[in-house]
Structure 1
Amino acid sequence: MKRKLFIFICCSLCIALTSCTKYLDVKPKGKVIPQTAEEFSSILHYWLDDIEKGLDDVIVLSPERTVDLELFAEDLDGTLASSYGVIDLYAGTSINRNQKYYSTLYSAIKDCNIIIGEMEDTESETAKTLLGTAWSIRSICYYNLMIRYCEPYQLQTASETLGLPLVDEFDIEAKPSRSTLKETADFILKGFQHALSYNSTDKNYIFTAPITKAYMARFFFWTQDWNNAIIYAKEVLDKYPMLEADEYVNAINQKLEPTKNVIIRSYTNENDVASMGYLTAQTNVQKRPVCKNLVDLFGNTPNDIRNSGFNTKRITTKVVTTKFRSEELCLIIAEAYAHLGKETEALEYLNLLRSKRITENYIAYTMDNLPEVFKQNITTDATGTPLTKLMSAILCERRKELFLEGDRWFELKRNGRPEFWIAANGKKYVTEKYLYTFPIPKSDVNLFPGLIIQNPGYIE
């Protein structure tokens, strides 16, 4: 294995990875084999530094990559775009880029596997922090792969649905096949549990135990483990309280400054490249007006302070800043309770958030005064059940709260994968159901036929 590591360190390889053969390749980090925990830490700091600079494309997305997801979804009206140029029309025009992210995520996984499997020191405080961080990042990378490159998780079919190739050690000769979605989820959970066993507290490594638990809440939510989603979301919500109305107005467009409700964010260390990417993100998102359907949703609550997210011309005024906020955890809890049939508890958390966003004439929802199901692209919940008034209210609240934060695309995917279209350049562009699951890189499929199976809808 040391020989493999030496080969790995010494190779000067292209940073733009494109195939499965490069999952386990390494970006050059010097020609000295790491020995101490401090030397191994440089491997992770490559990724942590990009997150802080707002340059990361795959772990905690940069503003530019968050805009990509917003352009795929329907909250910004593609038909009325002022220009197209380099910005994506819809998910189908970004196939090549989506394949690239797959390989980059596996590159991060490979780096985590080197630390987990090759670092001899496991007892020093630095080593324990490093191991906790590596386990956490690895599971987050697999979670990000799962929600992009696998079909939505369904409890009844997860054991038959295609999952991911699972790589649990550094091995340049590995030829992993695709697991099932259930096996993928079990693998991710095991990694998170390992991460928590180190109880990381060093904020210099970003992924402390509370942040790992927040991602676990997301993971349980996606895999429909409603009880565990509630447990982990509540624990983190207690540590990161939501913002009151006046705090929200002052904080939502903060470019760099941390606020008490932000669990993790990209772009905390300004530099020229990140600043340019940030400005590009704001420019691109303003090339499309907010869709009328979303404007109508805000019209139901005129005193909602989130109305300030766009102007009278439907141009966004809320800036794109990638962050994981405690408000999302509150919505996870509300929806999870609704799926469990606990309406009282679901309403409690739904109203908890609404009370912090509606400044005047606030009236709490009850089962008797819930609005009718809002007409939108989403018509069924995550389990395939037609929307109830309660579920519709929760999903609408999420849509308003997390607007321009890269959430809507995955909400569409999680809740039925509805098809919709835009008109541009004299053509009709349809977001078909299969496009919600991004393609595995074609080079991987060709290299390992029978092992790496392409997702439905794409040509092998």
Structure 2
Amino acid sequence: MKNRIINTYSFALLAIVGSLTACDKQLDLAPEDTTVESEVFQTSSSAESALMDVYNKTYEANKQTAYIIGDITTNTFVPTSAGAQLLSSGNLLTDDYSAEKIWGDTYSAINVANVIIKSVPELGTYNEDLEKQHVAEAKFLRAYNYLVLLKLYGDGALQGNMSGLGLPLQLEPYAGTEFVSNNALERSSNDEVYAQIIKDLTDALPDLNEDYDDKLETRARATQGSVHALLSRVYLYMGNYAKAAEESAYLINNPIYALVSNLRSVFPITDGIDEDLVEEHIYAIPLTYNGGDHQFGTHWFFYYSRTFGYVSDDYLGKLSSTDQRMTELMWSGNSLSSENYGKLTTSKFNHKDGRDNIPMIRLPEMYLTRAEALARTDGKVQEAVDLLNRIARRADAAYVDYKLSDFTTAEDLIDRILLEREKELAFEGLHRYDIIRTGRKLQFKNTDGVYEDVPAGRYVLPIPKREIDITKGSLVQNPGYL
């Protein structure tokens, strides 16, 4: 199975794109949507190739800025490049390339997922159970990508404003290549987008495997576990802590997933050819190698070079000298820039050409989500403390377990859990959203080296001006950019 993942992620798009266009202009042939698309979904292997393109496009949508914005725009990291400083300060223009690229790449992944969801039931002629599984995988990926968009563009989506402007919910494949402005979708509310994400995930759940014969597929493809994990994140972002606790428990109590003792094995120093995914990966984008920097090749996270920025003293000061997250997962990077000389960067992503496994959901997140959710719903409870201790103790052999009596209030416990989330999940694209959802202020370091608050209206990215223009105003801009 592993070889199939590596080799089929990239060749299905040509068939799918062809199926969404009109007939050949030079030949009097039947429209391609009655030939090519039906051929794609005749066999399980060709249909799976099309599905793999959704995985590939999810990678394309979540590499580069879309992933690292979760950390480089917080006080965990000090960006020194001009583009990263614009992101951190909230000073993006409405025609900013990064905001436009994230939007376009993510909707591209959603569109191909829509093709699978629509076409497999209509045109599929292979095993019915496998057809249902393929649709379920596409629904998981559509939900994942919609959550990426919502946390970046949904006005107030992480702050409990469920009536705020969310996203246009595109749930059907694009009808051809030409855009028709009078058919443009308006932005649904945050609540409606969350509801669609939850619907996709709950609909997908019964038709997904618990695991696969091949370990890589269990960690890199949608499973029942990855659905529960993503639901726990969704409910946490919504502030539905009872459901977040319930969903995360599925992973903690599931023998398919386990914490490993050595953090370096989760983020191995890679030669850029192949690395295993370990038991605590719930959903990850695997490093693969096929002779070139494509497919899951260059993720462009920029952490390797200190010319892009470096880990802040603020973050480093939260780690003890015996913490693996300091001793194993920090290094000096590859830059001799005089400005950043001697500074540290993360070695979670360490290949010089950006060829690393990319964790999307790891088991420690589930421990800390359940711990926080229990503390918020039940107050000071022993299980929340135990879950916190399990993650902190794994990272630091010198760590002394907390007792319940060490916390005066539930808020004290929550604050310590949030600190552990910051330490454990740093540079995995999550910290920005934890700051926003918990009511803390986003800050950036100005040119004088002083932290300033990001304007409240700039906690989300601008809806790309091009999208607003092409829809003739059907899409409404986020208020902070008006």
Structure-2 separation of matches of 1:454 and 1:222 = 22
8 Å CA contact retained: 1:370, 1:390: yes
2:87 maps to: 90
Report SS of the residue matched to 1:277: coil
Give the TM-score normalised by structure 1.
0.78
Counterpart amino acid of residue 444 in structure 1 = E
Partner of 1:132: 136
Q: In the comparison of the two structures, how many residue pairs are matched?
A: 412
Q: Is residue 341 of structure 2 the alignment partner of residue 322 of structure 1?
A: no
Q: Distance in 2 between matches of 1:368 and 1:418?
A: 29
Q: Contact 1:9/1:30 (CA < 8 Å) preserved in 2?
A: no
Q: Which residue of 2 aligns with 1:343?
A: 380
Q: Are the aligned partners of 1:163 and 1:181 in contact in 2 as well (CA < 8 Å)?
A: yes
- Pick closer, same or farther for the CA change 1:50–1:369 going to 2, 3 Å: same
Which amino acid in structure 1 is aligned with residue 393 of structure 2? Answer: S
Q: Are residues 1:243 and 2:243 paired?
A: no
Shift of the 225–419 alpha-carbon distance from structure 1 to 2, 3 Å rule, reads closer
Note the C-alpha offset of 1:419: 3.9
SS of alignment partner, residue 194 of structure 1: helix
Instruction: Determine the C-alpha separation between the residues in 2 that align with 1:424 and 1:29.
Output: 55
Considering only aligned residues, what root-mean-square deviation do their CA atoms show, in Å? Answer: 3.5
Distance across 2 between alignment mates of 1:311 and 1:283? 9
Q: How does 1:76-87 map to 2 (within 5 A)?
A: 76-78=77-79, 81=80, 84=81
Cα deviation per residue 1:187-213 (whole Å; 9 max; x = unaligned)? 111111111131245538811222222
Q: Greater CA deviation, 193-202 or 175-184? A: 193-202
Give the whole-Å Cα distance in 1 for the aligned partners of 2:101 and 2:54.
16
Change beyond 3 A, Cα 1:37–1:105: farther
Q: Distance in 1 between matches of 2:439 and 2:171?
A: 32
Cα distance, 1:337–1:124 mapped onto 2, change above 3 Å: same
Correspondence for 1:221: 236
Amino acid at match of 2:200: G
Cα distance 1:286–1:228, how it changes in 2: closer, same or farther (>3 A)?
farther
Are the counterparts in 2 of residues 66 and 322 from structure 1 also a CA contact under 8 Å? Answer: no
2:54 corresponds in structure 1 to 47
Query: 1:125: Cα distance to partner?
Result: 3.2
Structure 1 pair 85/168, CA: closer, same or farther in 2 (3 Å)? Answer: closer
Deviation at 1:286, TM superposition (A): 6.5
Cα distance in 2, alignment partners of residues 329 and 106 from structure 1:
27
Query: CA offset at residue 417 of structure 1?
Result: 5.3
Separation in structure 2 between the aligned mates of residue 156 and residue 265 of structure 1, nearest angstrom: 28
Question: How far apart are 1:249 and its partner, in Å?
Answer: 3.7
The alpha-carbon deviation at position 358 of structure 1 amounts to: 2.2
Worse overlay, 424-433 or 327-336: 424-433
Describe the SS at the equivalent of 2:155: coil
| 1:189 alignment counterpart | 198
Q: Distance in 2 between matches of 1:342 and 1:443?
A: 47
User: Equivalent of 1:261, from 261, 280, 303?
Assistant: 280
1:182-237 CA-to-partner distances (Å, cap 9, x unmatched) read: 11111111111111131245538811222222111111111122122122211123
- Give 1:132 deviation, angstroms: 1.0
Q: Is the 8 A contact 1:310 1:317 kept in 2?
A: yes
Structure 1 equivalent of residue 184 of structure 2: 175
SS of aligned partner of 1:118 = helix
Which residue, 286, 292, 315 being the options, matches 2:313?
Answer: 292
1:221–1:332 Cα contact (<8 Å) kept: yes
Deviation for aligned residue 1:325: 1.1
3-state SS in 2 of match to 1:265:
strand
Q: Percent identity?
A: 21
Unaligned runs of 5+ in 2: 1-15, 25-31, 333-341, 350-356
